[in-house]
Amino acid sequence: MLETSTKQNLPLPMTERERSLLQGLLDYSQVQSVPEIWSVVANKFGDAVALLDPHANPEVMVTYSQLYQQIKQFAGGLQSLGIQAGTRISLIADNSPRWLVADQGIMMAGAVDAVRSSQSARAEILYILAHSGSTALLVQDLQTLKKVREGLNDLPIELILLLSDEVPPTEETIRIFNFSQLMEMGTRHQLVPVQKKREDLATLIYTSGTTGKPKGVMLSHGNLMHQVANLGILVQPQAGDIILSILPTWHSYERTAEYFLLAQGCTQIYTNLRSIKRDLKQYKPHYMVAVPRLFESIYEGLQKQFREQPENKQRLVNTLLGISEKYIEARRVVQELDLNNFKPSTWEKIVANIQKIVLFPLHLLADKLVHTKVREATGGRVKQMISGGGALPKHIDNFFEIIGVQILVGYGLTETSPVTHARRYWSNLRGSAGKAVPGTETKIVHPETRQVLKAGEKGLVLLRGPQIMQGYYQNAEATAKAIDPEGWFDSGDLGWLTAKNDLVLTGRAKDTIVLSNGENIEPQPIEDACLRSPYIDQIMLVGQDCKSLGALFVPNIDALEQWANSKNLQLSLEDANLAQAESQKINLESKIIQDLFRQELNREVKNRPGSRPHDRIGPFKLILEPFSIENGTMTQTLKIKRHVVMERDSHIINAMFAQ
């Protein structure tokens, strides 16, 4: 029977533990706007390093005092050029200390920024400029400006600013200044303070999304300050703690994490995909905010090192990892943190506790021989790593728990500023998105009737709280669809609540694949299971309106070549028409390769908890070009744009199911 009472949806009261954790941090609960943070930290931390970009040429280092001064200068420069409160400024740039100065300078001047990556497509940038009503444009460099310059003639852009120090073009019909010129103007202009309230608009973040045109998410100062004031219940950074920053700085997830961590006096070091493995070892971070794909990359790098070891050493490592896995599984039962067994019986807890005690010495040995060395790849002093922006595959979650690196998974959307839920380090329920952050209400409803469901029943996740956006800019229809009259935001995600109010996500409502027999399949859990295979690097399930599921795979070429060598075979990636009869040469279409992947698929899907016959993957195709931001098939947070891949590879998908 459906539960109709809404009592269960009230915000969970803050526990004594959570309240005490916040008491150990700087309190921002009464701060009205984001720019107010910087005077606080400048007075508190002064000469401590706030930002370090070791990959800039030359290296850039900014103290907290310098950061506050630069933000004020930037804001003053904007005001001297006529920027007024409420002016829309499009900030099209990427990670750097200057991005933060520009972002906060815009807000301190009273303006509102519309943000996006300089790597975005020209049409997308021009759409944001037009839709946001921007009258000023701030770009990464001249190259970015060149990409969109012609399209500006049809827009009301009155001012162009460069984040670089490149010499502005002399023949321009629009005023244009570089970063140093603007900062110089700021030194000569008396900054006029602009008092902002929590309900005032702070920024427009255009959703990259996996479907359709981007929508302008309106986030207020109150939305953002809710995050700054409350994320301390999840992690408790100390002044001087090292943070590695790798995600797009304009994205809501990275952005609010930066505001929060810098508000507590941490030192943020900028890294990138090319340098992250080296920077982890060199700078030994205490925290890192990342998406699942980055954790998968670290995991695969470690697995590659394992595969390169002699067979006897591989066997030893795998044995020790297996022992530790059994140890943590027993520990979860004892702590009542097993997603598949929330309420173990007394007997089950006794058995698990005995197993935990017996395995503990072997786990310690494994830690000394294996796990400690693996942790060195993360720098060796990580307090916690934060994962968000997508589902963390179970085997990745397990692996990092085994080696002693704690990952706290968070959940939210751009529209929720973004964090609504997160796992606590003292109650880290693997497989869940954790409990709601303070002030947040969660409701699980039937997708069609919208009736409230009982704990444990799967349905649509609705959210309400101080972090929910004001709406979509200039899109009342989309806003009304997303937020009902009572303020409940439709997340578009499917999930359920445990008896202890942990949120467990099961997929996206719009991602659901409906087979021709009417069976509904959530692709994400099956994809995560398949990624356990060392031979699969990326995967996307397909099969809408078909008899069975299908899949597109990007193979792990290194692992595949190593496997081929072990069989005395040579893998060829160039000759797609290679004759099957050539005994020593094989390609991705060869039967032996196809059989290998079929075997991998069958094993991983079958071994997945809750596996059903309809989950079996039928036809599949191996493709060499990875899904990526560069080719437009992934978002900036490394989620596959399913609709883009479906359109791009429609001929491949159709051919798969026609066989």
**471 CB-near residues (< 8 Å, 6+ apart):** 218, 479, 482, 483
Domains of the chain with bracketed CATH: 34-196+234-246+254-272 (3.40.50.980), 512-658 (3.30.300.30)
Confidence class for position 9, pLDDT limits 50, 70, 90? low
Query: Between the ranges 4-13, 390-399, 577-586, where is the mean pLDDT highest?
Result: 390-399
Which of 292, 285, 372, 391 minimizes the C-alpha distance to 324? 372
Q: Which of 10-24, 47-61, 351-365, 552-566 has the lowest mean pLDDT?
A: 10-24
Residue 196 has pLDDT above 70, yes or no: yes
Alpha carbon distance, N-terminus to C-terminus of the chain: 45
Confidence class for position 484, pLDDT limits 50, 70, 90? very high
The pLDDT assigned to 444 comes to: 97
The pLDDT assigned to 16 comes to: 87
Confidence class for position 541, pLDDT limits 50, 70, 90? very high
300's torsion region: left (phi>0), alpha (psi -120 to 50) or beta?
A: alpha
The pLDDT assigned to 210 comes to: 45
The whole-chain average pLDDT of the chain stands at: 91
Cα angle 88, 72, 119; round to 5: 50
Query: Between the ranges 105-114, 511-520, 571-580, where is the mean pLDDT highest?
Result: 105-114
Confidence class for position 584, pLDDT limits 50, 70, 90? low
Distance CA 85, CA 363 (A): 59
- Structure tokens that stand for 84 in this block: 């007024």
Residue 509 has pLDDT above 60, yes or no: yes
Q: 219-259, pLDDT tens digit by residue?
A: 999 999 999 999 999 999 999 999 999 999 999 999 999 99
Distance CA 575, CA 583 (A): 15
3-state SS, 61-92, equals EEEHHHHHHHHHHHHHHHHHCCCCCCCEEEEE
**347 CB-near residues (< 8 Å, 6+ apart):** none
The pLDDT assigned to 134 comes to: 98
The pLDDT assigned to 337 comes to: 95
Q: Give me the helices (H) in 335-424, please.
A: 346-366, 372-375, 394-402
Residue 18: count other Cβ atoms within 10 Å of its Cβ. 20
Would you call 139 helix, strand, or coil by DSSP?
strand
Q: 329-378, pLDDT tens digit by residue?
A: 999 999 999 998 888 999 999 999 999 999 999 999 999 999 999 999 99
Residue 453 has pLDDT above 90, yes or no: yes
The pLDDT assigned to 13 comes to: 79
Q: 417-448, pLDDT tens digit by residue?
A: 999 999 999 999 999 999 999 999 999 999 88
The pLDDT assigned to 629 comes to: 87
Average pLDDT score over residue span 42-67: 97
Average pLDDT score over residue span 76-91: 97
Q: Give me the helices (H) in 266-291, please.
A: 276-283
3-state SS, 593-659, equals HHHHHHHHHHHHHHCCCCCCHHHCEEEEEECCCCCCCCCCCECCCCCECHHHHHHHCHHHHHHHHHC
What is the pairing mode between strands 407-412 and 384-387? parallel
Confidence class for position 524, pLDDT limits 50, 70, 90? confident
Q: Give me the helices (H) in 57-205, please.
A: 64-80, 97-108, 122-132, 142-148, 179-188
Average pLDDT score over residue span 469-489: 96
136's torsion region: left (phi>0), alpha (psi -120 to 50) or beta?
A: beta
Distance CA 276, CA 325 (A): 27
Residue 581 has pLDDT above 50, yes or no: no
The pLDDT assigned to 396 comes to: 92
**Residue 338 near residue 328 (C-beta atoms within 8 A):** no
**Residue 618 near residue 550 (C-beta atoms within 8 A):** yes
The pLDDT assigned to 11 comes to: 78
Residue 163 has pLDDT above 60, yes or no: yes
The pLDDT assigned to 10 comes to: 67
Distance CA 583, CA 563 (A): 16
Q: 591-647, pLDDT tens digit by residue?
A: 898 999 999 988 988 887 767 777 889 999 999 899 998 888 988 778 888 878 888
**Residue 551 near residue 601 (C-beta atoms within 8 A):** yes
